[in-house]
A and B are shown apart, each in its own frame.
Chain A
Amino acid sequence: MKRKSVATAAAGIATLAVALATSTPAMGQGNPIRIGVDTPISGTYAPIGQQVKWGLELATKEINAAGGVMGRPLQLIYEDGEANPAVATQKAEKLFQVDKVDFLTGTVNSGATLAVGQVAERNHRLMATTVSFADSITGDKCSPNVYRVNAKAGQQSAALAAWLAKAKPKARVFFLGPDYEMGRSTVAAFKAAAEQKGATTVGEVFAPLGNKDYSPFFGQIRAARPDVLYTSVAGNDTVRLFTQLDEFGLLKNLQVVGASGTVTSQNMGAIEKAAEGFVTGVGYSPEIDTPANHKFVAAFRAAYKTPPDLYGADSYGVLYFYKAAVEKAGSTDTDKVRAAMADLVWATPQGSKTMRAGDHQAMQVMYTVKFTHGEFKIISEVPAAEAIGPDDCKRF
């Protein structure tokens, strides 16, 4: 064990030496600021991890080319956290203890974000998720060391519920979520938001993460006769669910709505026909018509031959959030950076965001988008203050 850690340290020093030797003057003088990326490189969420990686890489490239953060370049250090909190915490521990990262990001699975948040607290370091939806992360399970730059389930459902109340008043809604933190909380959030606007719940069921066959779940859907199906499955699960819904003829006379992570650029190619008409509430769409977004989308497309999705955009944005905070604090010290992050306003491709000091949740304009002919089109917009909801965090 000891010999192994010595070897790892030696390898780390060697990597650092190479990085320093090859760094160009434009990348700044000081030691690099190390960003740990604990993201799924394998498993059912690997496509999401890919967007996270691309977003972070693009921002790192831009920031380093412009002189880094306070003259120090950013360095990304990856670990495969899989879609599994137990693995993600081990990898986070390694990033903090062995690689001595200054900041951590990349967690996808909400359970992993919550667990890794505790690791960050123990190591007295800060982290931010750019993907996880579960409201509890910045709600009743909030942590002084955990931030969320993406929109939470509550913001997405507020936008979606507002649209649904207009498009299908008094709808009969059936809920199908993946059976873990994110699935349960997205369903609970949309249920509350939709019922408040006059919808009726006709049933809910949860399928395991990575479920292969959804057909046994269809019986309850058929029996409930819903007008609307809400789902918050993601990644490859979406491909299987939508394909099977289509094959079993359930999509007729059924409006499918869902979480923003359900249909993304990573999986839409495989389900183009089955996902037609799908509506969701999002914090980002490549369609957003602003110069900042056009520039970001063009750079992303040029680098990776595919458009960014919400994960790519928010992972790109998180490094600008960290950069703004470190520059405001004048240091990478945890307490100073935390103080700087309170109510920090920073620029992202989707416009400026504000980090609410009370619960560490970013506030932003929300959109509803509809999947039409292989692309998401923006169909409505909800202001930041209307979508954010109350601050439920009581720990700090």
Chain B
Amino acid sequence: MHGLLETLQFVYAPQVVNGLSIGVAVILMALGLTILFGLLDVINMAHGEFYALGAYLAVSLLAAGVDFWLCLLVVPLLMLPLGYVTERLLIQRVFNRKDRHVLTLLLTFGLGIVLEDAYRIVFGPNTVRVDSPISGAANVLGMYFPNYRLFVMGVGALIIALVWVVVFRTRLGAMVRAAAHDRQMASSLGVPVSRVYSGTFAFGVALAGLAGVLLAPIYSVFPTMGKDFILLAFTVVIVGGMGSIKGAVIAGLVLMQIQALASLYISPVWTEPLLFGVMVLVLMWRPQGLFGKLGNG
């Protein structure tokens, strides 16, 4: 009755495109996590709450009459000093201890809980809707897709490329990588290691905030929103390899395609256990992840 071609066009293609758009969103979150782990050796459990902070800052700025497009620029800039101070006041205190992984994990986990409750007190427990700055839908080959999601896909891909360029193709990125690779040597060669660490943390936090602004019109804004993406983002980072940017991108795209296509046959609710299952398998057979180098971020 319905040809194979038609099924491909109307059933599979929209699902694949949708998987791509969710993939870009998850990669944006995973990117900050993997950079902080790869370069700073810090597992940032409060990453989701920084993402929520970005969204709430955007909500406040929009309410004050600031244009959405300006928010995309202003919010990450506001997040930079915040991340810098957080690193200086909290992370630095435990960074040089022997059990750094456990301490930073617990510290940021606690920070996340405090932040989430703070949002509840300051902004109230209810969901805030953010109007989409681009309305309407595009008709691509007979397949409808919301314009704003197409925009997020494009901008997301651009941000991912920019981050890669900054880390691997600029002098600043080289300094950061040097500081991460051998702290003493970098320091003796004149790299201001402590400030580079704070700056990198601030960069990761700003990235989370930017993701918060970009995704607010799609997912709405609420105090526990950080929890929604953080599990998926951690899964992507673990499967891709802790600390690997390439790994995060590839794992993000692959995992979200698995989710999108599986959603055609099982309830979408059950696709998350499926992804966590993949993560468990990766941890069992290749604990360093697809592209990770264990022991050296």
Contact = CB atoms under 8 A, between A and B. Distances in A.
B126 A216 contact: no
A219 B263 contact: yes
Contacts of A219: 11, 14-15, 18, 260, 263-264
B127 A236 contact: yes
Interface string A207-226: 11010110111111011010
A312 B264 CA distance: 39
Contacts of A140: none
B125 interface: yes
A392 interface: no
A361 B90 CA distance: 58
Contact of B263 (A44, A210, A220): A220
A358 B273 CA distance: 44
A217 B264 CA distance: 8
B18 A216 contact: yes
B268 A248 contact: no
Contacts of B22: 213, 215-216
B129 A270 contact: yes
B125 A43 contact: yes
A249 interface: yes
B14 A42 contact: no
Interface of A: 42-44, 46, 179, 205-208, 210, 212-213, 215-220, 222-223, 225, 236, 239-240, 244, 247-250, 270
A270 B132 CA distance: 13
B151 interface: no
Contacts of B10: 222
Given A213-B218, A219-B263, A240-B220, A43 B18 contact: no
Contacts, number: 74
Interface stretch (B139-147, B175-183, B198-206, B276-284): B139-147
B269 A206 contact: yes
Contacts of B139: 249
A326 B288 CA distance: 70
Interface in B135-179: 137, 139, 143-146
Contacts of B263: 216-217, 219-220
Contacts of A249: 137, 139, 143-144
B86 interface: no
B269 A247 contact: no
B269 A42 contact: no
Interface residues of B, number: 31
A248 B137 contact: yes
Contacts of A46: 126
Nearest to B218: A213
B126 A43 contact: yes
The winner among B15, B127, B228, B264 for most chain A CB atoms within 10 A is: B127
Contacts of B145: 248
Contacts of A206: 267, 269
B129 A222 contact: no
A207 B137 contact: no
Nearest to A235: B127
B144 A216 contact: no
Closest 8 CB pairs of A and B: A249-B144, A247-B146, A216-B268, A219-B15, A42-B125, A219-B264, A212-B219, A216-B263
30 contacts: A42-B124, A42-B126, A44-B127, A46-B126, A205-B267, A205-B268, A206-B269, A212-B219, A212-B220, A213-B22, A213-B218, A215-B18, A216-B18, A216-B259, A216-B260, A216-B263, A216-B271, A217-B263, A219-B11, A219-B260, A222-B10, A223-B7, A223-B11, A236-B129, A239-B129, A247-B137, A248-B144, A248-B146, A249-B143, A249-B144
A219 B219 CA distance: 19
Nearest to A179: B269
B98 interface: no
A212 B215 CA distance: 11
A104 B260 CA distance: 45
Contacts of A223: 7, 11, 264
B126 A218 contact: no
